[in-house]
Amino acid sequence: MNVTAAHPMESGMGIPRAVSNAESSPVAFVATRRERHLSDRIFLWVLRGSAISVVSLLGLIGLFLLVGAWPAIQKFSLGFLTGSIWDPVAENFGALPVAFGTVVSSCLGMAIAMPISVGAALFLNEMAPSLLRRVVGFLVEMLAAIPSVVYGLWGIFVLAPWLREVVQPFLGKWLGFLPFFKGPAYGVGMLAAGVILSIMVMPTVASIAREVFASIPRAQREAALALGATRWEMIRIAVLKSAKSGIMGAALLGFGRAVGETMAVTMVIGNRAEISPSLFAPSQTMASVIANEYAEAVTSLHVSALLEVALLLFFVTFLMNGFARLLIWRVAGSRKGLV
């Protein structure tokens, strides 16, 4: 008995019936049933709600700061950014000194931290034995777990006296002709804040730099060595040159971390809102002025000015971290052939 295949026509109708591979596949059929299941739909909406809640929380924080800072924005306008006097008694607020202190202390901290962090990451990723890599890598990451107030106490009782008695007199004697190293040696000040920040951002920069170096294909290193390159030339050509964007992203993330640091910097920077070229002079950052004055602010304009400083700090940190993440994702994507 001959069995013939069914013609792809509807019985009694001249209309062809399209049969897709997705409908005929058992896997696709099971996936379709799973997508239509009530529990899966609930789980999907819970995940969507979680993601939306995080973004909403970020927006609500920015909205809260904007509403609270609005009286100061209306009164001072752009003069708040360019004013150099911070006087709560006279209710005259200019954020330029605290912005100056934030930028200079963060840049100083990054200038100290970047060579050490990148060097440590290169050593751990390229040269260190496996046991030493695990031990030293764990200790470097442990630096990020130390509370900032502990760094501040160490800065007050150990770092500041050492800077006052040893480092600052030495720098003043040999480099005193430069404006950066003039003035009395207080111990606390911009230099102490920069050193504290450099220690605090090292784990962040070193960890991200290690991930960037690890994403570079091993074949790239072997090709450089096969062409006769020395170990240093291989690292310089095959690793550092390929990781420039990732290192820049790590630096920006570390800079964002330094900009927002509060307690440790507040305890060692001297907290004086003035602009001075000397690294020995006391200064103040945006985070430290909020920590020092928010609990003591008695007028609504003073509170509004502090909230405007917080709003500036919020946007600066958000933009720095966002740009850094884009650079790191670009490096990771290029290694996978996505960019």
Beta carbons of 86 and 97 less than 8 angstroms apart? yes
Which portions of the chain are predicted below pLDDT 70?
1-36, 331-339
Looking at residue 1, its pLDDT comes to 46
Distance (Å, rounded) from C-alpha 339 to C-alpha 335? 8
Is CATH 3.90.1510.10 correct for 98-335?
no
Mean per-residue pLDDT of the chain: 87
Tokens of 19: 């049969």
What is the DSSP annotation of 28-59? HHHHHHHHH-HHHHHHHHHHHHHHHHHHHHHH
Beta carbons of 267 and 155 less than 8 angstroms apart? yes
Torsion of CA 134, 135, 136, 141, to 10 degrees: 80
Rg, Å, the chain Cα set = 29
Q: How many CB atoms sit inside 10 A of residue 94's CB?
A: 19
Distance (Å, rounded) from C-alpha 112 to C-alpha 199? 9
Q: Which helix (H) or strand (E) holds 96?
A: helix 96-122
How many helices (H) and strands (E) the chain has is answered by 16, 2
Beta carbons of 79 and 85 less than 8 angstroms apart? no
Beta carbons of 270 and 152 less than 8 angstroms apart? no
Distance (Å, rounded) from C-alpha 203 to C-alpha 145? 9
pLDDT in tens, 47-84: 999 999 999 999 999 999 999 999 999 999 999 999 99
Distance (Å, rounded) from C-alpha 153 to C-alpha 242? 40
Beta carbons of 206 and 140 less than 8 angstroms apart? yes
pLDDT in tens, 3-53: 444 444 444 444 444 444 544 555 555 555 555 688 888 999 999 999 999
Distance (Å, rounded) from C-alpha 272 to C-alpha 270? 6
Distance (Å, rounded) from C-alpha 117 to C-alpha 250? 10
